[in-house]
Amino acid sequence: MDFVSDTVVLSRMQFALTASIHMLWPTLTTGVGIYLVIIEGLWLKTRNTDYYYHARFWAKLYALNFGVGVATGIPMEFQFGTNWAPFSEATGNFFGSVIGFEASWAFMLEAAFLGIMLFGWERVNPAIHYLSTILVAIGANLSTVWILTANSWMQSPAGGEMVDGKFIVHDYFQAIANPFMAKSVLHMFLATLETSLFVIGGISAWYILKQRHTGFFAKSFKIALAATIAIAPLQIYAGHLSAEQVYHYQPAKLAAMEAQWNTIPAGQSASWSLLALPNNLTEQNDWELAIPNGLGYILELKEKLTEPVLGLKEWEPQDRPRLVGLIYYAFRTMVGIGFLLAGLMAGTVLFWLLGKLSEENITQQRWLMWVWMFAAPLGFVAIDTGWIVRCVGRQPWTLYNQIRTVDSASHIPPSNVLVSLTAFTITYLLLLVAYMYFGSRIIRRGPRFDLLIPGTDPNKPAIKTAPGEFVSDERPVEAQQ
């Protein structure tokens, strides 16, 4: 129990806990936000009321999700100051500004138009409403861009140098477009989208299994499925690109991801480890199951490597990640889920092509629907394990090769952090439980088909009794109330 007296460890635990639980909600806000844009677009284009009720139903889950996302997200911004003051002071010139950009570009846009999107159906005309839905989705996704820019810069600091313990920026745009930025943004963007699509597909599958509104939910199931055809394989490719950049810029992290203790020289073949028991003390894997030549094919599509793969022993123990086992298994979990979801997509598409997903047949695909239901949470697991690889693998640095984690934490009494960590743990777990309870309640109640279609006011019958008195109201909808 040494950690209870160590502010650095406690602050790390607090950040890891709040970040990994918080991450679950923005994932859906960004991904489902895009889905809502598609659904509302279909409603405006086809005037099929099913799409309108879809927009209302998913927006209800969206609102629940958004509230918890904001609640759990606010502590993230303040923690940089409360728990990581030396880091914040040293990197404020760039990192601080980017956090500010996120608030001004993304949060305000999202927050201001969310109200109109959720409650404004009767108050603004359809074009403004649709614009609001689009702006909410843009706002949410701009958040991904800025946060991933900030984090990528921590992985591959660029655009300036450390002078007297502070990062001085020479070229802002070089710092923003740091080596990790573009591929990381793409990988995260696809991750939120893919996870959201499998959540939508999984919830729709539940209704189909229960034979409730089967035709209605077959629509959302197929929209989600159609989108995963492009997204799931693309994400595997984006993941590969991300691993490549780790190989080039953070070889110590790659070595931890592969539990590779010894360097493999160029010109040799390298096996890819499937399962292993890494041991930090003896600096080797106690036990290992590996695929011969696998690593060569993964990294270079060749049997023999043209560049060496450095092993962990190349670095002094204080200069390399310590939790090798965690990084190793987190990486395999993420990759495994990526392939599993793509496989599920491919299998389901085959069913679709065979006509087994038509409205009459879809309820008979019981086991397929079960698989989709169980696949719904997998995206979240992949996202959190991915972040573990990214940030635990970055250790012992906060700013890669520049600022150490031990030098980044605030000098505050460990008791303070222990109390706040305990409070965060209890609160976040309770929130997670309450969120799932109310979320499943909304799902069990199902969509409401008695909602008013915008523009059809029941207080104004279309035909008045005395035709002579009828004066049509040509003012815009807002003015008619």
Partner 1 sequence: METLEYFLPQVWFGILALFLFLYVMLDGFDLGVGILSLTSSTEERRGILMTSLSNIWDANETWLVLMGGGLFGAFPLAYSTILSALYIPIILMVFGFIFRAVAFEFREQATRKFVWNLSFGIGSFMAALGQGFALGAVLKGIQVDEAGHFIGGTWDWLSWQTILVALTLIQGYVLIGSTYLVWKTTDELQTTHYRTAKIAAWTTLIGAIFITISTPIFYESAREKLFQEPLIYIFAIIPIAGVVLIWQLLSSLNRKEERAPFIWTILLFVLTFIGLALVVFPYIIPTRITIYEASADPSSLVIMIIFIGFLIPVMLFYNLYQYIVFRGKITTEHYGEG
| Residues in contact with 181: Cβ distance below 8 Å, sequence separation at least 6, in sequence order | 148, 149, 152, 153
Told to check if 86 binds partner 1 by CB under 8 A, we report yes
Told to check if 123 binds partner 1 by CB under 8 A, we report yes
Told to check if 40 binds partner 1 by CB under 8 A, we report no
Told to check if 89 binds partner 1 by CB under 8 A, we report yes
Which of 5, 48, 100, 422 binds partner 1 (CB under 8 A)? It is 100
Which of 13, 19, 44, 82 binds partner 1 (CB under 8 A)? It is 82
Rounded distance between C-alpha atoms, residue 109 and residue 128, angstroms: 14
Is residue 327 within 8 Å of 257, Cβ to Cβ? yes
**Part in contact with partner 1 (CB under 8 A); list of ranges 116-124, 296-304, 349-357, 460-468:** 116-124
Tokens linked to 164: 């007297």
Told to check if 429 binds partner 1 by CB under 8 A, we report no
| DSSP codes of every residue in 47-79 | --HHHHHHHHHHHHHHHHHHHHHHHHHHHHHHH
- Among 6, 67, 65, which Cα is nearest to 32's? 65
Which of 9, 13, 44, 118 binds partner 1 (CB under 8 A)? It is 118
Q: Which of residues 350-379 bind partner 1 (CB under 8 A)?
A: none
Told to check if 404 binds partner 1 by CB under 8 A, we report no
- Using alpha carbons, list the distances in angstroms from residue 352 to 68, 356, 360: 36, 6, 13
Q: Which residue's structure tokens are 């690593």?
A: 295
**Part in contact with partner 1 (CB under 8 A); list of ranges 87-95, 239-247, 263-271, 280-288:** 87-95
Task: Determine the distance from the C-alpha atom of residue 460 to the mean position of all C-alpha atoms in its chain, rounded to a whole number.
Answer: 45
Shortest separation between residue 282's beta carbon and partner 1, angstroms:
40
Rounded distance between C-alpha atoms, residue 432 and residue 412, angstroms: 29
Which of 9, 13, 19, 111 binds partner 1 (CB under 8 A)? It is 111
Told to check if 101 binds partner 1 by CB under 8 A, we report yes
**Is the bond into 447 cis (omega within 30 degrees of 0)?**
no
- Using alpha carbons, list the distances in angstroms from residue 469 to 36, 57, 165, 313, 464: 42, 39, 80, 91, 8
Rounded distance between C-alpha atoms, residue 75 and residue 15, angstroms: 9
Shortest separation between residue 132's beta carbon and partner 1, angstroms:
9
Nearer to partner 1, 175 or 378 (CB): 175
Which of 4, 47, 48, 168 binds partner 1 (CB under 8 A)? It is 168
Told to check if 441 binds partner 1 by CB under 8 A, we report yes
Which of 6, 16, 44, 81 binds partner 1 (CB under 8 A)? It is 81
Shortest separation between residue 42's beta carbon and partner 1, angstroms:
21
Told to check if 448 binds partner 1 by CB under 8 A, we report yes
Rounded distance between C-alpha atoms, residue 362 and residue 364, angstroms: 5
**Part in contact with partner 1 (CB under 8 A); list of ranges 36-44, 80-88, 221-229, 362-370:** 80-88
Q: Which of residues 50-69 bind partner 1 (CB under 8 A)?
A: 56, 60, 63-64, 66-68
Strand 403-404 and strand 272-279: the pairing is: unpaired
Told to check if 479 binds partner 1 by CB under 8 A, we report no
Which of 5, 104, 361, 480 binds partner 1 (CB under 8 A)? It is 104
**Amino acid present at 74:** I
- Number of residues near partner 1 (by CB under 8 A): 72
Shortest separation between residue 38's beta carbon and partner 1, angstroms:
21
Nearer to partner 1, 119 or 470 (CB): 119
Which of 27, 29, 91, 245 binds partner 1 (CB under 8 A)? It is 91
Is residue 408 within 8 Å of 391, Cβ to Cβ? no
Nearer to partner 1, 82 or 284 (CB): 82
User: Angle 181-210/24-46 helices, nearest 10 degrees?
Assistant: 70
